[in-house]
Structures are given as C-alpha cells and as structure tokens.
Amino acid sequence: MNRVVVGFDFSSGSANAVDLAIDIANRWQSDIRLVYVKEKNENEAPIRAEIEQRNAAVEPLLKGIKLEYVLREGSPAEQLAKQAEEDNAALLIVGTHGMSGLKTNMLGRNSYRTIELSPVPVLIVREDFNFNKALETIVVPIDSSDDTRQKASKAALFARTFGSTIHLLGLYTSTTEDIRRIVKNYVGMVQRVFDKDNIKYITKFIDVEKNVTTTTLDYAAEVQADMIAIMTEQEKNLSSLLLGNYAQQMINQSTVPVLTVRPTRVVADTANY
C-alpha cells in the first residue's frame, strides 16, 4: 500500500501521530514519511539530529517497513498536503492538542487548513489519545448529504486492518419524512456493501436533538469508540464551508482520532458508497 505521511513538530500530539502511524503502517506494510516543516532561517542541523535520534529509538517497532523523514519550508498545511500528493499517500496523520490547544503548536494551528488542502484522508490524533488498545470500534455517522457515504469505504479499510466493528449511525436531522427516508436509504446502501465485504457492523438511528457533533460524540462515548470517520463537507443546513462547523467541532471535541475524508464530486452511482 502507498506511503503513510505524518506531520511532525516535536509536540506530544505529533509524537502520538507517529506512534499510531507505525501501528497502521506495519499492518498495511507501508513505508512512513515523517514531515517537518521548518521556518525560513531555521537551523536544520539540530532538527535532523533530534529526528534521527527519535527514529532510531522506534526502529525496533518497524516490521519490514521504512521510516524516513524530510524537511520542507513554507506553510505547514500546504507543505503537508503537497508531500501527501507527491507520495501518492494512502493517509496523512497529524497530531493536535485538545479543545483549547489547537492554537498552541505548528500542526495545531494548521490542522483545519491541512484537512482542507489534503488530497488524501487525514487522521487527526490528539495528544491525550489512549493507545492501550487498537482501533477496534469505529463510528461512521450517516446523514442526508450526497457525499455522506464516501467515508464508509475508508472506514471499511480500517475495519479490515484492525478487525474492527463499525457502528453505522443514521442521523435524523429533520422530522421531514423525505429526509429521513434518504438517511435510511444511504445507511442501507452502506450495509449492503459491508455485507458483501464481510465487514462487521452495528446500525443505530438517532434523532438529533442538540446538534450533530454532540449526538455523534455522545454515541461514540457510549460505545467506547476508538475512531470517528467524517466528511469535510456536510449538509448545507449544517455549514456552507468546506470545513464547516461540524468538522471543526468534531476535531476540537473528540477524544479519539477523527478520520476526515474529502468528498469527490462524482456521486451519480448510488449503488456504491
């Protein structure tokens, strides 16, 4: 499988990102590219020395894969996205601080922009993420937006990798019967593909009473989820921005990794997700 790219800035959040990247890359048998984005006149020598020391320390954890690094210069978000594109990466992983900490480190300040620019799925890992178990439980919220099913294939990849159970969460954001029927149909489409691919899943439908973020996070906490998969676009009644309020709130508030998938514009084939 293609390389896993990881943003790194010496913060604890980015160190967690590297740890998770090693676990995923070992399972995928993919090499890892660690990316440090330096400032214009920053001295490279101490950066390289510390990165090489850290890489040597984790080398025994690598199972037939390589951990390489590169220094780039410029906007962190732009450079991470460019590296992911150049490597034709399967995944870009970045680390952040918690709700109040997204402004305190290089990757934190640029997390949203990185997600917007990245041509590949981005996995956001908080500094306080618990690594005591694998990604065994994945929550996939499904709403009435055209693109909502596209995250399911990426979640299924993780489910196959870790032997996970996916929780398909049908979100009713309206009492209008047509909207509710769309959600049911989309969930049904994903179920059929999961059945075909022998993906383990559990389905639940919930009426959104407060907001989509709270509903999703409450359910994730209830099932002790290890990851939540979302799209970077949501329904227009939730947000008109590429990375809207739902995605921002989810990244800020989730205590577990959030997989963000950028939608493609081709959704005409409703037989597939």
> 165 in a domain, yes or no?
yes
Q: Kindly tell me if the per-residue pLDDT of 71 is higher than 90.
A: yes
% of the chain surpassing 70 pLDDT: 85
> 220 in a domain, yes or no?
yes
In the listed set 97, 126, 155, which residue is the last one of a domain according to the structure? 126
> 273 in a domain, yes or no?
no
> Is there a single domain that holds both residue 42 and residue 156?
no
> 48 in a domain, yes or no?
yes
> Is there a single domain that holds both residue 143 and residue 226?
yes
Q: Domain residues for 172?
A: 137-261
> 112 in a domain, yes or no?
yes
Find the mean pLDDT for residues 185-193. 97
> Is there a single domain that holds both residue 256 and residue 142?
yes
- Residues near 220 by Cβ (< 8 Å), separated by ≥ 6? 139, 228, 254, 256
Q: Are strands 258-261 and 122-126 parallel, antiparallel or unpaired?
A: antiparallel
What is the predicted pLDDT for the residue at 85?
Answer: 96
pTM (2 d.p.): 0.88
> Is there a single domain that holds both residue 121 and residue 141?
no
> Is there a single domain that holds both residue 150 and residue 110?
no
> Is there a single domain that holds both residue 59 and residue 103?
yes
Answer whether 126's CB lies under 8 Å from 253's CB.
no
Q: Kindly tell me if the per-residue pLDDT of 50 is higher than 80.
A: yes
What is the predicted pLDDT for the residue at 99?
Answer: 35
> Is there a single domain that holds both residue 57 and residue 122?
yes
What is the predicted pLDDT for the residue at 111?
Answer: 74
In the listed set 91, 126, 161, which residue is the last one of a domain according to the structure? 126
> Is there a single domain that holds both residue 145 and residue 210?
yes
> 271 in a domain, yes or no?
no
Answer whether 273's CB lies under 8 Å from 193's CB.
yes
d(CA 238, CA 220): 20
> 268 in a domain, yes or no?
no
> Is there a single domain that holds both residue 169 and residue 249?
yes
Question: Who wins on pLDDT, 57 or 12?
Answer: 57
Q: Please write the tens of the pLDDT for every residue from 103-137.
A: 444 444 567 788 889 999 999 988 777 666 789 99
Domain with residue 234: its CATH number is: 3.40.50.620
What is the predicted pLDDT for the residue at 95?
Answer: 87
Q: Please write the tens of the pLDDT for every residue from 213-267.
A: 999 999 999 999 999 999 986 434 443 333 456 777 888 888 899 999 988 864 4
> Is there a single domain that holds both residue 87 and residue 112?
yes
Question: Who wins on pLDDT, 102 or 28?
Answer: 28
What is the predicted pLDDT for the residue at 230?
Answer: 94
What is the predicted pLDDT for the residue at 88?
Answer: 94
Q: Kindly tell me if the per-residue pLDDT of 42 is higher than 70.
A: yes
> 68 in a domain, yes or no?
yes
Q: Kindly tell me if the per-residue pLDDT of 201 is higher than 70.
A: yes
> Is there a single domain that holds both residue 79 and residue 109?
yes
Q: How far is CA 88 from CA 9, 94, 162, 168, 250, in A?
A: 22, 17, 23, 29, 27
In the listed set 65, 94, 126, which residue is the last one of a domain according to the structure? 126
What is the predicted pLDDT for the residue at 263?
Answer: 86
Query: Which of the four pLDDT bands, split at 50, 70 and 90, describes residue 12?
Result: confident
* Mean of per-residue pLDDT scores for the chain: 86
> Is there a single domain that holds both residue 144 and residue 86?
no
Please count the structural domains in the chain: 2
Q: In 3D, which of 44, 27, 30 has the Cα closest to residue 1?
A: 30
